């Protein structure tokens, strides 16, 4: 038989997309209706009941186009989808299953209905059991969102996926390649690897994809390699015991005094509730007074005049010594000192007057 590989193919033109997947139509199903009925059911939380009841007519209308039946059970709190005799697409029931899963995880209907399109897939990532500590889990989950949702928005733009963080799960919708990246970022975030590192890596990859010369080359030299900064994971005790060799004694060490024993020694144990409160209040007042005095001294430092050049006379030295002498005295002490000084001046003046009167009498 002659070879045909080098013959001209007029139907094979450059504008044909050989990777395109055509839409599945009823004519493509040569076997006809399915042999058995397939169905999927999922539960939904109580708070989604009102929204689902309102949106259910839209869900029914969307699934009717693919000949898939659906039921909403408000008593059991479940949604069910199943194939019918008219269903022609085998993948339609799987798409419908993903649709009800997304609706149960608080994804709004206008976004969730896009799952019925070709090339769009969904992934529900369970993150609740990846971290044991509740507080740590909440902090790490918040990292996926970022400040004002900026980290989540960056991930959506770079992966081309819709991401919704809700409770113990992260729902993602988009292409298969993007979903793979989202799962890696979310799981690493729960393992204490910040999403910003992955965002940097994705941004670099995005730029490298635009360069046709680097298509068949390794990108490892361009990608960042972050080293772990945490040191030894060995848990260090709060109190490290001294293991040095001590002198042997036959007697055991004295037991540590309890809080009550210390209170009995100080006499605090026998005080009434009012006395304890008064003592605590007095202690607080004393501390407050000390702080106030310290602040006052700090303020007064700004108003002390600087020593001028050449002002080192005896008078200036005496003044300095005098100010140092009365540096730490209180307001009451200062007042008493001034009163004493005034009294001494008066006594001195009286003695002078008496002496002058005695001299004039002798004359």
Please give the chain's pLDDT, 363 residues, in tens. Answer: 456 667 777 777 778 877 777 788 888 887 778 888 999 999 999 999 999 999 999 999 999 998 899 999 999 999 999 999 888 888 899 999 999 999 999 999 999 999 998 889 999 999 988 888 899 999 999 999 999 999 999 999 999 999 999 989 999 999 999 999 999 999 999 998 889 989 998 998 888 888 888 877 887 888 877 776 665 566 666 777 777 777 888 888 888 889 889 888 888 888 888 888 888 899 999 999 999 999 888 888 877 777 665 555 566 666 666 666 666 677 778 888 888 888 888 888 888 877 777 665 555
Report yes or no: 192 and 139 within 8 Å, Cβ to Cβ. no
Q: Tell me: domain 24-118, CATH 3.30.1370.10, correct?
A: yes
Report yes or no: 130 and 170 within 8 Å, Cβ to Cβ. no
Predicted TM-score (pTM) of the model is 0.57
C-alpha span between 249 and 274 (Å, rounded): 46
Pick 119-228's CATH classification: 3.10.290.10, 3.30.1370.10, 3.40.50.1980, 2.70.70.10: 3.30.1370.10
């Amino acid at each position: 038989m002659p070879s045909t590989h080098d013959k001209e193919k007029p139907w094979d033109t450059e504008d044909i997309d050989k990777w395109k997947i055509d839409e599945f139509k009823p004519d493509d199903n040569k076997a006809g209706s399915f042999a058995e009925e397939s169905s999927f059911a999922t539960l939904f939380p109580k708070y989604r009941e009102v929204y689902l009841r309102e949106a259910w007519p839209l869900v029914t209308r969307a699934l009717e186009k693919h000949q898939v039946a659906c039921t909403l059970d408000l008593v059991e709190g479940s949604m069910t989808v199943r194939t019918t005799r008219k269903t022609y697409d085998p993948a339609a029931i799987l798409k419908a299953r993903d649709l009800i899963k997304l609706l149960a995880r608080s994804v709004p209907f206008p976004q969730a209905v896009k799952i019925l399109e070709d090339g769009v897939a969904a992934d529900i990532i369970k993150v609740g059991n990846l971290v044991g500590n509740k507080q740590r889990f909440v902090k790490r989950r918040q990292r996926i969102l970022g400040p004002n949702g900026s980290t989540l928005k960056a991930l959506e733009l770079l992966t081309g996926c819709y991401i919704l963080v809700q409770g113990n799960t992260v729902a993602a919708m988009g292409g298969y390649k993007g979903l793979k990246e989202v799962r890696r970022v979310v799981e690493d975030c729960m393992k204490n690897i910040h999403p910003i590192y992955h965002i940097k890596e994705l941004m670099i990859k995005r730029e490298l994809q635009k360069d046709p010369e680097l298509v068949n080359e390794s990108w490892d030299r361009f990608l960042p390699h972050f080293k772990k900064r945490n040191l030894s994971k060995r848990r260090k005790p709060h109190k490290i015991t001294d293991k040095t060799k001590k002198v042997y004694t036959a007697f055991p060490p004295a037991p540590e005094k309890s809080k009550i024993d210390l209170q009995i020694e100080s006499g605090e144990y026998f005080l009434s509730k009012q006395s304890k409160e008064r003592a605590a209040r007095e202690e607080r007042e004393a501390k407050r007074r000390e702080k106030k005095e310290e602040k006052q001294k700090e303020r007064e430092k700004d108003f002390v005049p600087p020593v001028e050049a050449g002002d080192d006379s005896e008078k200036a030295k005496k003044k300095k010594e005098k100010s140092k002498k009365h540096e730490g005295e209180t307001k009451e002490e200062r007042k008493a000192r001034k009163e004493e000084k005034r009294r001494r001046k008066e006594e001195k003046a009286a003695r002078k007057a008496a002496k002058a009167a005695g001299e004039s009498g002798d004359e």
